[in-house]
Chains A and B, each alone.
Chain A
Amino acid sequence: MTMPFYVAPEQVMKDRAEYAQKGIARGRSLVGTTYSDGILIVAENPSRSLHKVSEIYDRIAFAGVGKYNEFDQLRVAGVRHADTKGYAFSREDVDARSLVNLYAQFLGNVFTHEMKPLEVEILVAELGVEPSGDQLYHIAYEGTITDEVTFTVLGGEAEAIREAVESVFEDRWDLDAALRKLVKALGGERVLAPEELEVAVLTRGQARRAFRRIGVPELTERLGVPSSSRSRSRPKSS
């Protein structure tokens, strides 16, 4: 029987972090921001059916980057947690904070105890009753929680995109302005077509379920991008 080589814990953690970061960097990024009527999430995602952005509960949305199967498992667990809690108590008792803590606990556990860390970063967005209650929780692969009230960027190119968004961000901007500028920031050098994007909003003051997807037709209109069937002047913002 051979003794395993001693590896310093610092090294183990560093290797794991590097592994997770590499995995996350392979995928496309996403941005979440608060706007005049709620919260907007824009993700670069060419797939129509494998969603990065989804609904968890009445006022809570979920978004993930990295390995699809891993963040989707977390999404489903979130829906289950929220639905059982809402059923056992009341719909009002379901809040993002407790869910975020569970996610962080799970990610942290996997990071330290399992063979392989999860290659994901997730965003849990909660719409407040008042605009001041809006919250964006960004949870990293090792379980670190950051809460933001303006905007947050997830994914491999987060730093570059963060800088781009920071330079254009306005507090309580309207949906069209936010959408155009975020899409531009996400694309960087490239111009992203509506078909390459997945967009969803949590809108205040409407129905019980605040989550709504913005499909390609609406997105095309809001971005003001000319589609092949219509001839429209291209605004310089796109």
Chain B
Amino acid sequence: MALPLFAPGEDPGPHFVDLLARIGRGGGDPTGACRTRLGYLPGVPVQVPVPQGAAVPGAAGGYPPLPHATTVVAMRYADGVLMAGDRRATEGHLIAHRAMEKVFPADDHSVVAIAGVAGPAVEMVRLFQTQLEHYEKVEGVALSLEGKANQLGQMVREHLPMAMQGLVVVPLFAGYDLRRGEGRIFTYDVTGGHYEEADHAATGSGGRDARNTIKLGWAEGLDRASALDLAIRALYEAADEDSATGGPDLVRGIYPLVATVTSGGYERLEGAEVAERFALLVEARRAGAGEAGRP
């Protein structure tokens, strides 16, 4: 390993992805770590083998079942934004993981959640986190929230060839805009297009049900407790309708992961707090259920 120094014309600046590309091409990467991630490198054609044989129902573009991460929701509330994701990952009809984490801190003042094929999605988050921190350290100032959203959009776009083969990754990004003093939410499509949402957003297989629930309960200036209740209710409803979304696992004590971003920064909510709110939700549902157990 040599010190990564570049001639002025070759310098990748604060871009971590460009840096990886340059190190990878220059042969200064004895670990091969950068080469294995060529899928994200700009200007490098991606060769994804198309598998032969019959497609498995529910699998991505003819691939054998791959772990999929599902429903994530985000909403604005009085202090900033709140994001929540269920914990289930599926492989076709099967449950691959029961306690997967889909909500990640992108940096101190933003949060990213993923839906889609878990492998490349988690990798994209790691690259995104590194990119934001790298930029901040090299430049001495953090990117603006809009700049971060754009960066993530570019990564999703680089991933498009793989998405076309079925390995779709769709993130959800939110953060606290320190310059404007408010929470903001961005949704993405597979082409890297990103759109700012006014109040709330949901994505993943149960996204539609979650969105409907939030839409009915959301109001401007919700406090933290109400926002939390609404988010877990949305995930509960999504899990009720969508087999790929996990509900609260009362037996194992696995609950959705909830995080907030306010002017004070990213905060992951304690599992106990989420569990407590879920207990109240389940209690209320049980009380409302009829004799036949119907809701």
Contact = CB atoms under 8 A, between A and B. Distances in A.
Interface of A: 49, 51, 54-56, 73-74, 76-81, 83-89, 98, 102-103, 105-106
B23 A84 contact: yes
A53 to B, nearest CB: 11
Interface string B107-145: 000000000000000000011001001100110100000
Given A73-B5, A81-B1, A102-B2, A88 B33 contact: yes
Nearest to B12: A80
B140 A87 contact: no
Contacts of A102: 1-3
Contact of A88 (B2, B31, B137): B31
Given A73-B5, A87-B20, A102-B2, 19 more contacts: A56-B137, A76-B138, A77-B3, A77-B4, A77-B5, A78-B3, A79-B134, A79-B138, A80-B4, A80-B19, A83-B19, A84-B20, A87-B33, A87-B130, A88-B33, A89-B31, A102-B3, A105-B3, A106-B3
Nearest to A211: B137
A78 B33 CA distance: 18
| Interface-central residue, A77, A80, A85, A86, by most chain B CB under 10 Å | A80
Would you list the 9 A-B pairs with minimal beta carbon distance, nearest first?
A88-B33, A80-B4, A102-B3, A79-B137, A77-B3, A83-B134, A106-B3, A87-B130, A77-B5
Contacts, number: 56
Contacts of A74: 3
Contact of B4 (A84, A88, A98): A84
Contact of B140 (A51, A56, A89): A51
Given A102-B2, A105-B3, A84 B137 contact: no
B16 interface: yes
User: What's the dominant secondary structure at chain B's contact region?
Assistant: helix
Contacts of B75: none
Interface string B1-44: 11111000000000010011001000000010110000000000
13 contacts: A54-B137, A55-B137, A77-B4, A77-B5, A79-B137, A80-B19, A83-B16, A83-B19, A85-B1, A87-B126, A87-B127, A87-B130, A89-B33
A98 B126 CA distance: 23
B261 to A, nearest CB: 15
B5 A106 contact: yes
Contacts of B133: 83
B4 to A, nearest CB: 4
A78 B1 CA distance: 12
Contacts of B138: 76, 79-80
Contacts of B19: 80, 83-84
A87 to B, nearest CB: 5
Contact of A81 (B3, B20, B127, B140): B3
Interface string B127-166: 1001001100110100000000000000000000000000
Contacts of B34: 84, 88
Contacts of B127: 87
A166 B120 CA distance: 54
A198 B114 CA distance: 40
Nearest to A106: B3
Contacts of B130: 83, 86-87
B137 A81 contact: no
Contacts of B16: 83, 87
Contacts of A98: 1
B101 to A, nearest CB: 16
A54 to B, nearest CB: 7
Nearest to A83: B134
A76 B19 CA distance: 12
Contacts of B23: 84
A141 to B, nearest CB: 16
